[in-house]
Amino acid sequence: MKNLFITSALLLLIFTSCDSNDSENSNTSEATLVTSSNTSGKITYLDLLAASPMVKSFTIASTDAEGISYNSETDAVTVASRTNNKLETYTGIKSAVKAGTDNLMLSLSSLNTEFNNARETAVSGDIVVVAQDQLASNNMMNKLFVYKRTTTGFTLLKTFTTDFKLWGIHINGNDLYAVADLTSDIVLFKDYMSKASGAITATKRVSIAGLVRTHGITYSAADDIMILTDVGNATSGTDGGLVFIKNFTSVFNSTATAGTIALTSQIRIYGPNSLLGNPVDVAFDALTKKVYVAERLNAGGEVLTFNYPTMSADAAPANVRLEAGVTSVFVLRK
């Protein structure tokens, strides 16, 4: 029986020390967790440093949204809208929290509907990359769209086609990592911005032993940890998992192209206690070592929080929060 809880007292206990992706600075002034949904037309915002952290929900102009990110300097969230097939930015979250308002106003968007069937975004500074998964409505094209955020919207800089199905993506410096959907593989595109638009060739592609179907991906440079989600059979609510690869740089570099990262290089969370069935996205807080997961299948959507594991186990989440249709999760600390 699932033990679901979301009282402010428990949230305070669990989230007080929560942090961002790569920062190891304990004197951070802001820590934020945001999520998107593909059913509710809402995003959620949680100030992890608040005295009594409470989840705030806001209505946006997209019923179906993926790939959320948060920019604290502009107090704005950006999503890849599957409703409107555009990048959309919504501002004024903190003022909306104070005012107790429900909806956020659209402030920026991409001008055209270049992508269709977006699955994830990756953000680095003013660059936003959108992963498009193949669908009949996009002529079965797996594609990466590279945008630059401006003061008036998003400018499309480049597009890359891939020879594999796309889902999760992550930018690390000049490199782009992607998961190959329907496989156990991850792919590296080194210096991706130096490539010309068109078909892009992978620098390296490797398999992850014991993983069935990759979806979510995130990397912490501060810890040199790669974290992947496994949705397994998409219709099963019990076969999902999390894979952690420590010392990832050396492990990845020492694995031959088309080779396999062995189980001995992994820490794994799998099993019924984990509540992982269809974990579609993951975020990591490098300061508090909390792992946040968007679990899409069970209970219609849940945000699961795990403590960073020291060994493979059927570990239960430290917190379970119902979140209808949750598709993506993002943590920022500064």
- For the stretch 232-285, pLDDT in tens is 999 999 999 999 999 999 999 999 999 999 999 999 999 999 999 999 999 999
Q: Could you give the CA distance from residue 324 to residue 301 in angstroms, rounded to a whole number?
A: 5
Residue 111 belongs to a domain: yes
Residue 31 belongs to a domain: yes
Contact 120, 157 (CB under 8 A): no
CB count, 10 Å around CB of 151?
Answer: 6
> pTM value?
0.91
The pLDDT of residue 2 is: 39
Ranges of beta strands (E only) in 16-165 are 31-37, 42-47, 56-59, 65-71, 76-81, 86-91, 105-109, 118-124, 127-132, 143-149, 154-161
Closest CA to 292 of 38, 280, 131, 144: 280
- Residue 251 tokens, joined: 């492990």
The pLDDT of residue 27 is: 61
The pLDDT of residue 29 is: 84
Residue 2 belongs to a domain: no
Please enumerate in sequence order all residues whose Cβ is within 8 A of that of 312, keeping only pairs 6 or more positions apart, or say none: 266, 267, 268, 269, 270
Residue 252 belongs to a domain: yes
The pLDDT of residue 15 is: 34
The pLDDT of residue 12 is: 32
Coil vs helix vs strand at 252? helix
- Domain CATH for 214: 2.120.10.30
Count of domains observed in the chain:
1
The pLDDT of residue 26 is: 52
Contact 88, 109 (CB under 8 A): yes
Residue 234 belongs to a domain: yes
Give me the domain span that covers residue 105. Answer: 8-333
Residue 1 belongs to a domain: no
Closest CA to 176 of 163, 194, 164: 194
Residue 103 belongs to a domain: yes
Residue 73 belongs to a domain: yes
Q: What is the pLDDT along the chain (334 residues), one digit of tens a residue?
A: 434 333 333 333 333 323 334 444 456 788 999 999 999 999 999 999 988 889 999 999 999 999 999 999 999 999 999 999 999 999 999 999 999 999 999 999 998 899 999 999 999 999 999 999 999 999 999 999 999 999 899 999 999 999 999 999 999 999 999 999 999 999 999 999 999 999 999 999 999 999 999 999 999 999 999 999 999 999 999 999 999 999 999 999 999 999 999 999 999 999 999 999 999 999 999 999 999 999 999 999 999 999 999 999 999 999 999 999 999 999 999 8
241 membership: H or E segment, kind and range: strand 241-245
